[in-house]
Amino acid sequence: MKTNQKSTRVKDAYTAIKVAIRSNQIPAGFQATEAEFATRLGMSRTPVREALIRLEAEGLVEMIQRRGARVLPIRTEDMREIYDILMTLEPEAAANLAVRNISQAQLEPLAQATTEMESALAQDEPEIWAEADDRFHMMLLDMSDNRRLRNFVRSLHDQAHRARMITLRLRSDLTQSTREHREIMRHIIDGEADAVRALYRQHRARSSSEILRILDTYRLVPL
Amino acid sequence: MKTNQKSTRVKDAYTAIKVAIRSNQIPAGFQATEAEFATRLGMSRTPVREALIRLEAEGLVEMIQRRGARVLPIRTEDMREIYDILMTLEPEAAANLAVRNISQAQLEPLAQATTEMESALAQDEPEIWAEADDRFHMMLLDMSDNRRLRNFVRSLHDQAHRARMITLRLRSDLTQSTREHREIMRHIIDGEADAVRALYRQHRARSSSEILRILDTYRLVPL
DNA sequence: GCATTTTATAATGCATTCATTATACATTTG
DNA sequence: CAAATGTATAATGAATGCATTATAAAATGC
């Protein structure tokens, strides 16, 4: 219990708003004054303001001159930006793992996540699949010893999250995507860095183009 | 004059502190309470606090529980992190330019910067060289149409800036580095994406290992 | 002397207050 | 009626005040 979690209003506000955005409880495009956010959260403007500043730095919110804060929508263009970066960074991070001689045991949490993805697919539970998928990528990233890389990629995932969830049930590549996780792990264990990089990149490229295609086709997530 | 620069205290504080950190007027490791920063800047704690929050998000400053804000030092480890990321992102961005069929004219500002680097070298003015070098990389990045990429790389450059300046006069690779800029530009114009990527990566790898070597050798920028 | 508790100090987290100013709306003018 | 001007309102930017609490210093007990 000594988790050192001295909850502060700023943190509460930050977390509450972030969760609400992720889950679409506060929809993209929603705009409100600082005072409104504050009232809603039952605190004064000050902590809310500071939380909003952080959320703005993370690209989830935009503060507009005299009209408060606006929950940023994710457009196709944004997703393209995000995936272009992920397609570069994540494969490289994974390839580095291959070089480091990772044991199968160390990858066990990843294998676990992948297993969950498989069973989620079997039971047609895409949300659970998505959660495990995210976990896979994040755990893999956490094994990288580059804190800046971790934080940045995490922030990109956060930004992309809503769009991913919206497109989830329209995707046809989930099975393929899951299978690739196994391949990537195998090549990491075998220390084949180039193969890991290529595979991971392909993995991201596929899901990226699938998601972008869906967004474009249905013109989803506009505002 | 309609530069739309409604200066606000938060912005003033942000800029002032950032500039002071970059230029080492406030040295790495310096720590002071919010109140001290506020006094020094001639304003109240509130705007300073908000500026510090932003600077913390950019990795230039760290806010510590009950002892104010501390200017983050850059350790060898940090530089390694930063350059590992740059070595991945920048070559990719440059390679994308090659694909886009850029004309020589469009690269003129880059050529200009490189010329300045050459003359700075001839006159043994490493600081001027460094400024032009930074400009080269930033302009190249600005040609990428990925705003998130731009901002992130810019923030990494900001973080690395002090360490770069400190090692500047000890580096022996400036001439080589400058020469590589010309090569990179040539390959961009020729549309040889792979060559651009490889060259740029090598370019970063070289300067990175040079800087890291110096930092390690002289144990610079410790605190 | 050394460890532990008490007290004092200082710094922050947050609420409140106030002045400034952007924006919308109403009014006037051509 | 359109454009311009004036005015009211609302929202923010910033200062201030205060309660809370971490840290250091002092005092106490062993």
A91-121 per-position pLDDT tens digit: 999 999 999 989 999 999 999 999 999 999 9
* Averaged pLDDT for residues A33-44: 94
Min Cα distance B163 → chain A (Å) is 17
Cβ of B10 < 7 Å from strand D?
yes
- Among all protein residues, pick the one whose CA is nearest to the C1' atom of D23: B66
Alpha-carbon distance of B116 to A67, in angstroms, equals: 45
pLDDT surpasses 70 at A222: no
Q: Quick one: pLDDT at residue A146?
A: 94
Strand partners, B62: B70
Residues 14-53 on A with a CB inside 8 Å of B are 49-50, 53
* pLDDT classification of A8: cutoffs 50, 70, 90: confident
pLDDT digits (tens, 9 = 90+) for A44-89: 999 999 999 999 999 999 999 888 999 999 999 999 999 999 999 9
Q: Which nucleotides of C are covered by protein (CB under 7 A)?
A: 10-17, 21-23
Q: What is the pLDDT of residue A21?
A: 95
A8 CB-to-strand C distance under 7 Å? yes
Q: Is B148 on the interface with A (CB under 8 A)?
A: yes
Distance A4 CA to C18 C1' (A): 37
DSSP class of residue A185 equals H
Choose among A16, A21, A48, A14: nearest CA to A33. Answer: A48
- Which domains does chain A show, CATH number per domain? 9-71 (1.10.10.10), 76-218 (1.20.120.530)
C1' of C8 to CA of A106 (Å): 51
The percent of residues above 70 in pLDDT, for chain A, comes to 96
Residue A219 pLDDT: 77
Instruction: Provide the chain B residues 68-87 that lie in CB contact (below 8 A) with chain A.
Output: 81-82, 84-85
Looking at residue A3, its pLDDT comes to 40
Look-up of token digits 């440059």: B94
Q: Is A64 helix (H, G, I), strand (E, B) or coil?
A: strand
User: In chain B, which stretches have pLDDT less than 70?
Assistant: 1-5, 220-223
User: What's the token pair of residue A188?
Assistant: 């990491």
- CB < 8 Å to A97, chain B: none
Contacts of B147 in chain A (CB under 8 A): 81
Q: Quick one: how far is CA A222 from the chain centroid?
A: 19
Is the pLDDT confidence value at A6 over 90?
A: no
Contact (Cβ atoms closer than 8 angstroms) between residue A189 and residue A107: yes
**pLDDT of A140 strictly over 50:** yes
User: Does any CB of chain B come closer than 8 Å to the CB of residue A156?
Assistant: yes
pLDDT confidence tier of residue A2, bands split at 50, 70 and 90:
very low
Could you report the per-residue pLDDT of B121-151, keeping only the tens digit for each? Answer: 999 999 999 999 999 999 999 999 899 999 9
In the sheet with A68-71, reading across from the earlier edge strand, the strands are A31-32, A68-71, A61-64
Asked if strand D comes closer than 7 Å to A169 Cβ, the answer is no
Question: How large is the ipTM?
Answer: 0.90
